[in-house]
Amino acid sequence: MKQKNRIDGGQIDRDTKLRFTFDGHVYHGHAGDTLASALLANGVRLMGRSFKYHRPRGPLTAGSEEPNALVQLRSRARQEPNTRATTAELFDGLTATSQNRLGSLSFDLLAINDRVSNFLTAGFYYKTFMWPKAFWEKVYEPIIRRAAGLGSLSLQDDPDVYDKGFLHCDLLIIGAGPAGLMAALTAARSGADVILADEDFRMGGRLNSETFAIGDEAGADWAAQTVAELAAMPNVRLMARTTVIGAFDHGTYGAVERVSDHIATPLDGKPRQILWRIYAQKTVLAAGAIERPIAFNNNDRPGIMTASALRSYANRFGVAVGRRTAIFTNNDDGHRTAADLHAKGLKVTVIDPRPDAPRSMGYEVLAGAQVTDTMGRLGLTFVQVRFSDGTDRTIECNALGVSGGWNPNVHMTCHQQGRPAWNDALAAFVPDALPVGMTVAGAAKGDLSTAGALLGGATAARTALGLKGRIPKMPQAEDAPVSVTPFWYVEGASRAWLDQQNDVTVKDVKLSHQEGFKSVEHLKRYTTLGMATDQGKTANMGGLAIMAELAGKTIPEVGTTMFRPPYTPVAIGALGGRHRGQDFHPKRLTPTHAWAEEQGAVFVEVGNWMRAQWFPRAGETTWRESVDREVLATRGSVGVCDVTTLGKVDVQGADAAAFLNMIYCNGFAKLPVGKVRYGLMLREDGIAMDDGTAARMADDHFVVTTTTANALPVYRHMEFVRQCLVPDMDVQLISTTEAWAQYAVAGPNARRVLEKIVDQDISNDAFPFMACGDITVCGGLRARLFRISFSGELAYEIAVPTAYGDALIRRIMDAGAEFDITPYGTEALGVMRMEKGHAAGNELNGTTTAANLGMGRMVSTMKDSIGAVLSRREGMNQSDDLRAVGVKPIDLADKVPAGAHLMAADGPVAAAHDQGYVTSACYSPNLGHHIALAFLKDGSNRIGEIMRLVSPLTGVDVDVEICSAHFIDPEGERLRA
Amino acid sequence: MHDLTPTPALGAATQTIGTVTVAENTGVALASVAARTGGENTCTKVLKAVLGAVPDVGRTVLHDPEAGFWMGPDQWMIGAPMDTHEDIADQLKAKLGDAASVTEQSGAWVAFDVTGERMPDMCEILCNIPIRKMVAGDVRRTMIHQLGCFVIRRAAYDHIRILGPRASAKSLHHALITAATSVA
Amino acid sequence: MIIDHPLLGPRDSAEFTYMGDARLIDRPDPDGADAAAAFFDYAYLRDNPAGWHRELWFHEAGDRSWLVVTRNTLTHEISKVELAREVARAKGRSK
């Protein structure tokens, strides 16, 4: 198809023809086009339907501030909704579809909303759908969702990958227009490390869209040459297609680089986008300015756009939006569009409400006139103009450029709570309080001329970097003064759109005021002005101006709403980066992982650790069969379990024992060398924090273990005590969790197995219960042995340097073969600790005290320790406090599930009569029935009591008997065997 | 002499992606040294004797056969070839006595050597370190794929050594290869 | 936020773990006459100032130092960063 609106000129590559489709129709454009410019070149002005009223819409702008031309880009899994056609870079094979329509784009069945718009005004949803309540979910919401959506998601996994990265620089420059380029040049020539970021794929900013000269050359050429010079400098990083999305604390900036969005699919292994965190010593914001529209009736028809957008399409992209163009402007800049289009041979009429509007020899200027209405169902065909004497005239045209003046782009200056200041000469807000380290230059600062931008850029860079000496001479450039007469909306305008993305009209703002929502923050939320994905970049000023007029205040008195990151929408994938699916977080593998995989182990994630949960054998069909076998085999002969994941902290120093006395509630000072002791750590409020063992390897050396889950917080806590509470104790802490492979070998034959491996005498006399020591294994490998038991059996934990972990497990299995040694996983481990009545995470759950756990007497009164004082509070020492007990079912077939609550056998079942709750439960293969650990009020005095265990939620109601938590070997004879 | 065979943290084959080569280094024995109260002078003397100098804050002393870097206040990591120094902790303890706490660390870490022209680009999407400003011997503790790692800038301009938690060697290697592919 | 570590220089706050009020260094005397009341205050009562606040940060992904950071909670301005161990010593916790 012919590109009927393509005209000469522009920075597109006419030799590269790109094929693309929009709503299934095939079109052609060129490299350097955006989707919007290519569509306009093909005469397509209608690109979408509006959010609420489904009004036909085309692009309002040629940039990222675009509210209207939102399309669904790409297809299938890569389909991305709400993509601005004005920034989407054209590539060969691009497919786009329009969104928010029912039927075709030109015949949208929901356009009926436009006819009933009298009912859909501000606050409509609040007022209408309040009643009846039940209707909301079932009736209203589905209808509204269908009607008032934007684009839709593919509902498939995103096939692309995203990276996150970190950059450091002396000077970050945001925006590569004349100010940004000159700032970059100035800074780079001084030797500073510079990052120049621009959201556009072509650097140069407005220079690419204007016909201005800089020195002897065209502005766009000067920009290209400057970019080339910067690109050749090693201290400069040019980042095109990169949107700085937020200014965060202390010179930290977020930026999204669109690495692959300009090609059909990313190259293999390459990211689609990178979310950069940029650490900048200083920043120059040169983000330019955004032209604002004027509100008049039906100002939203396709073909109506900002005057500067018309200029961009003509000068940069070689596109005439219409052959006959009208310009409606209140300032001199609007006349530039007229001049440029006229120079390209297009017919132009200027409508300027100022009686003293500048005249032209080339085209018609209607001074003192206003556009009062427009016509054209799917695109502009006529504008209606009213003169100051009250007479009307209709002008035939298919493009209308509107200019209400320019708003400096202050967005990023406000991310650290700064508010802009009003500037009367520009009739706009300009930056005031700035984030630390930021300087603003060029149009973003209010210097709207090219010469002002160049000088401002150089000055800002010099100020930021503290450069001395005379400022070099700037090249000659356009330096026209700003001449603007504030003009926000045409008298009598009603269905005049302020926020085209959220369909907010002048009438809505008036209604908001009338109904008492007068503050800007209320106005915003009541009308949704500025709350769409464009954050009202083209809309907010008009709303503020009208609210100011209605309130009889000035615009600065009314104030602005907050600007917040991100500057433009960010794909959720970019925020997630590589941390998706399997890579959501790293995995920690134990030294036996490869061996366990060979055994067919089923793994479970604990923290980030992958632990063997059980080891199924042929013929076993349920996990219970495997677990029961592992438990019985261990208690019957011997089992082995990888316990490497327990946190380990090396505690050394002359005051190591005194330090442990401080962090554990029980005493450690008198623990002999070569012995292990169980230790309970409390929080300062007296609640149990963690438990573990401390093994005294030498007078000045302990090895402390923590639970797997708490390894990190406990280490942090220990460092806090060491550095902040006892700063001069001679104690050093090193986490050694991963330095040692550690295995529990448990069961009556444990010693017989280890005797074949350990080089030293480990007989009961030489190495009794709770002994520990440095040993060697297999003929001389350094190792550690601890005679501790979580299972309640004769047991050891043996540790070797991690690199030997794989070899050791295989050696243990060989040595244990004659005893049918059985590897067991975390499930069997759990069953055995419950059978033995040992507390674990379910019991140390952040609400329980040492007394609750039945360890109240462990809290030493002979010494200070963290939590000791508050553990003695009256409220935590009541006679009916919870105590750890065992629970078994009366009917041995019943389960006694965790989470169920204990009630008196004959009392009411109600929360008010709650007696306690089950924390851990399992089937005990040794006892042949289910067992549980529980906390029960005054539990230690209620052994033998029959109670009801209930869980109304899951339908549990069983009779149980309270018993000792030590179901197996209560005297501990096995441990000491 | 024992007859157990050590296994490498990962056993990954050396891979070159574009200009970047990622190689597991299984030959480093490690031990940490933390000065005790009153032992600072002895500690300084021993470290000087072993390394030639005491590593300053954020710095590595690249010495042969032992090298060392600063881990924290009064705390250093000492490394040496595994072949000759598997008992590095014992060797250091013998020299330091009560002047310092010595902890064997060989099993706690996996080491990867990353070399090549685009190593700095790769670093930028891996971790928050100013890689282009780092000079030979600089060391930073940083997070790579949520894992606490040490990154040591070695003598060659395009060479870093990464020490990461051994148990996560596979995840860390995957992150390195992914990043190398991304910048290749 | 950037925390200017006294030893390591500027580091991103993401490398740190936050704990809260630096008054946690002032652990009461457990043998004091009013120990129970003092510990109650210590464990539970915190000021929540809109403005300058001294707080504890742990350099978990760094050198494992606890720091006392003086930060304005309204602006995030950081005026001072000290090693908590030095602060504790200065407060006489050395005995």
For A769-772, the CB contacts below 8 A with 24+ separation are A769/A975, A769/A976, A770/A675, A770/A676, A770/A677, A771/A674, A771/A675, A771/A676, A772/A674, A772/A675, A772/A676, A772/A695, A772/A696, A772/A697, A772/A703
Residue pointed to by tokens 């201290």: A235
Interface ipTM: 0.99
Cβ atoms of A235 and A193 within 8 Å: the answer is yes
Alpha carbon distances (Å) from A505 to A300, A329, A539, A804: 11, 20, 10, 74
How far does C11 lie from chain B, in Å, by closest CA?
Answer: 9
How many residue pairs bridge chain A and chain C with CB atoms within 8 Å of each other?
81
Position A101 pLDDT exceeds 80: no
- The structural domains of chain B, ordered by start, are 15-26+108-183 (3.30.1360.120), 28-106 (3.30.70.1520)
Using the beta-carbon criterion (under 8 Å), do B143 and C15 form an inter-chain contact?
yes
C-alpha Rg value of chain A to the nearest Å: 38
Question: Would you state the pLDDT for residue A494?
Answer: 79
Distance CA B107, CA B93 (A): 18
Q: What is the average pLDDT score of chain B?
A: 96
- Chain C partners of B71 at a C-beta cutoff of 8 Å? 63
How open is the CA angle A150-A152-A156, to the nearest 5 degrees?
160
> Which has the minimum average pLDDT: A284-288, A436-440, A860-864?
A860-864
> Which has the minimum average pLDDT: A87-91, A173-177, A512-516, A898-902?
A512-516
Residue A594 DSSP code: H
| C7: nearest CB among B73, B128, B142 | B73
Question: Would you state the pLDDT for residue B148?
Answer: 95
Report yes or no: B143 at the A interface, CB cutoff 8 Å.
no
Please, how many CA atoms are within 13 Å of residue A338, restricted to the half-sphere of its CB? 26
Distance CA A439, CA A182 (A): 14
Using the beta-carbon criterion (under 8 Å), do C84 and A868 form an inter-chain contact?
no
Question: Would you state the pLDDT for residue A152?
Answer: 81
Cβ atoms of A461 and A284 within 8 Å: the answer is yes
Using the beta-carbon criterion (under 8 Å), do B165 and A738 form an inter-chain contact?
yes
Report yes or no: A873 at the C interface, CB cutoff 8 Å.
yes
Per cent of chain A over pLDDT 90 is: 88
Enumerate the β-bridge partners of residue B113. Answer: B23, B161
Mean local confidence (pLDDT), A113-117: 66
Using the beta-carbon criterion (under 8 Å), do C83 and B73 form an inter-chain contact?
yes
Chains touching C by CB (3 or more pairs below 8 Å): A, B
Ranges of beta strands (E only) in A871-963 are 882-889, 901-904, 916-924, 929-937, 946-951, 956-963
Q: Quickly state the pLDDT bin for A154 (edges 50, 70, 90).
A: confident
Q: Which of C58, C64, C82, C89 to mutate to test the interface with B (most CBs of B within 10 A)?
A: C64
How far does C23 lie from chain B, in Å, by closest CA?
Answer: 23
Amino acid at B51: L
Which token pair is A975?
């441990």
- The phi and psi torsions of A703 (rounded to 5 degrees) equal -110, 115
pLDDT tens per residue, range A325-381: 999 999 999 999 999 999 999 999 999 999 999 998 899 999 999 999 999 989 999
Nearest CA in chain C to A871: C36
Q: What is the dihedral of CA A803, A806, A812, A814, to 10 degrees?
A: -130
Distance CA B87, CA A541 (A): 73
- Chain B partners of C62 at a C-beta cutoff of 8 Å? 141
Question: Would you state the pLDDT for residue A115?
Answer: 66
Mean local confidence (pLDDT), A293-318: 97
Report yes or no: C14 at the B interface, CB cutoff 8 Å.
yes
Mean local confidence (pLDDT), C38-55: 96
How open is the CA angle A339-A444-A354, to the nearest 5 degrees?
40
Distance CA A123, CA A526 (A): 6
pLDDT tens per residue, range A704-714: 999 999 999 99
Which token pair is A751?
């010693």
Using the beta-carbon criterion (under 8 Å), do C64 and B128 form an inter-chain contact?
no
| B142: nearest CB among C7, C61, C83 | C61
Which token pair is B72?
């924290």
How far does B63 lie from chain A, in Å, by closest CA?
Answer: 24
Question: Would you state the pLDDT for residue B114?
Answer: 98
Nearest CA in chain B to A731: B36
Report yes or no: B103 at the C interface, CB cutoff 8 Å.
no
Mean local confidence (pLDDT), A657-664: 97
Using the beta-carbon criterion (under 8 Å), do B108 and A803 form an inter-chain contact?
no
Q: What is the average pLDDT score of chain A?
A: 94
Nearest CA in chain B to A165: B125
Report yes or no: B8 at the A interface, CB cutoff 8 Å.
yes
How far does A376 lie from chain C, in Å, by closest CA?
Answer: 52
Q: Quickly state the pLDDT bin for A146 (edges 50, 70, 90).
A: low
Using the beta-carbon criterion (under 8 Å), do B128 and C12 form an inter-chain contact?
yes
Report yes or no: B148 at the A interface, CB cutoff 8 Å.
no
Cβ atoms of A409 and A240 within 8 Å: the answer is no
Kindly write down the DSSP assignment for every residue of A827-882, as one continuous string. Answer: HHHHHHHHHHT---TTTSSSS-BTTTTT-GGGS-SSS--TTHHHHT-GGGS-TT-E
Q: Quickly state the pLDDT bin for C95 (edges 50, 70, 90).
A: low
Report yes or no: A279 at the C interface, CB cutoff 8 Å.
yes
Nearest CA in chain A to C17: A716
- The structural domains of chain C, ordered by start, are 2-90 (3.30.2270.10)
Distance CA A885, CA A689 (A): 20
Q: Quickly state the pLDDT bin for A13 (edges 50, 70, 90).
A: very high
C-alpha Rg value of chain C to the nearest Å: 14
Which of B10, B36, B33 has its CA nearest to residue B23? B10
Distance CA A602, CA A593 (A): 11
Higher-confidence position of A640 and A112: A640
- Chain C, 50 to 69: residues with Cβ < 8 Å from chain B are 60-65
| A716: nearest CB among C58, C83, C86 | C58
State the DSSP H helix or E strand holding residue A252, giving kind and residue range, or none if neither. strand A252-258
Question: Would you state the pLDDT for residue A394?
Answer: 97
Chains touching B by CB (3 or more pairs below 8 Å): A, C
Residue A563 DSSP code: P
| A163: nearest CB among B125, B147, B184 | B125
Report yes or no: B6 at the C interface, CB cutoff 8 Å.
no
- The structural domains of chain A, ordered by start, are 1-155 (3.10.20.440), 160-290+405-480 (3.50.50.60), 323-402 (3.50.50.60), 594-644+739-846 (3.30.1360.120), 647-737+852-872 (3.30.70.1400), 878-977 (2.40.30.110)
pLDDT tens per residue, range A763-810: 999 999 999 999 999 999 999 999 999 999 999 999 999 999 999 999
Question: Would you state the pLDDT for residue B152?
Answer: 97
CA A564, distance to chain mean position in Å, is: 15
Using the beta-carbon criterion (under 8 Å), do A864 and C2 form an inter-chain contact?
no
Using the beta-carbon criterion (under 8 Å), do B34 and A728 form an inter-chain contact?
no
- Chain A partners of B2 at a C-beta cutoff of 8 Å? 776-781
Enumerate the β-bridge partners of residue A772. Answer: A786
How far does B149 lie from chain C, in Å, by closest CA?
Answer: 8
Residue pointed to by tokens 């949208």: A108
pLDDT tens per residue, range A866-890: 999 999 999 899 989 999 999 999 9
> Which has the minimum average pLDDT: A120-134, A659-673, C13-27, C67-81?
A120-134
Using the beta-carbon criterion (under 8 Å), do C56 and A727 form an inter-chain contact?
no
pLDDT tens per residue, range A408-433: 999 999 999 899 999 999 999 999 99
Per cent of chain A over pLDDT 70 is: 96
Which of A741, A660, A665, A730 has its CA nearest to residue A695? A660
pLDDT by residue for chain B (184 residues), tens only, comes to 899 999 999 999 999 999 999 999 999 999 999 999 999 999 999 999 999 999 999 999 998 888 999 999 999 999 999 999 999 999 999 999 999 999 999 999 999 999 999 999 999 999 999 999 999 999 999 999 999 999 999 999 999 999 999 999 999 999 999 999 999 9
Report yes or no: A876 at the C interface, CB cutoff 8 Å.
no
Using the beta-carbon criterion (under 8 Å), do B37 and A730 form an inter-chain contact?
yes
pLDDT tens per residue, range A181-205: 999 999 999 999 999 999 999 999 9
- Chain B partners of A608 at a C-beta cutoff of 8 Å? 168
Task: Describe the strand order of the beta sheet including B147-153 as a list of residue ranges.
Answer: B15-17, B20-25, B109-115, B159-165, B147-153, B139-144
Question: Would you state the pLDDT for residue A559?
Answer: 85
Report yes or no: B81 at the A interface, CB cutoff 8 Å.
no
How far does C61 lie from chain B, in Å, by closest CA?
Answer: 6
- Chain B partners of C64 at a C-beta cutoff of 8 Å? 72
Position A43 pLDDT exceeds 70: yes
Chains touching A by CB (3 or more pairs below 8 Å): B, C
Q: Give the list of residues 6+ apart from residue A916 with CB closer than 8 angstroms, or none.
A: A882, A885, A901, A902, A934, A935, A936, A937, A939
Cβ atoms of A729 and A788 within 8 Å: the answer is no
Position A569 pLDDT exceeds 60: yes
Helices (H), A552-655: 555-558, 572-576, 593-598, 623-636
Distance CA A741, CA A746 (A): 16
Using the beta-carbon criterion (under 8 Å), do B129 and A166 form an inter-chain contact?
yes
Question: Would you state the pLDDT for residue A482?
Answer: 85
Mean local confidence (pLDDT), A225-247: 98
Q: Quickly state the pLDDT bin for A75 (edges 50, 70, 90).
A: very high
Question: Would you state the pLDDT for residue A61?
Answer: 98
- At C9 the three-state DSSP class reads strand
Distance CA A589, CA B166 (A): 9
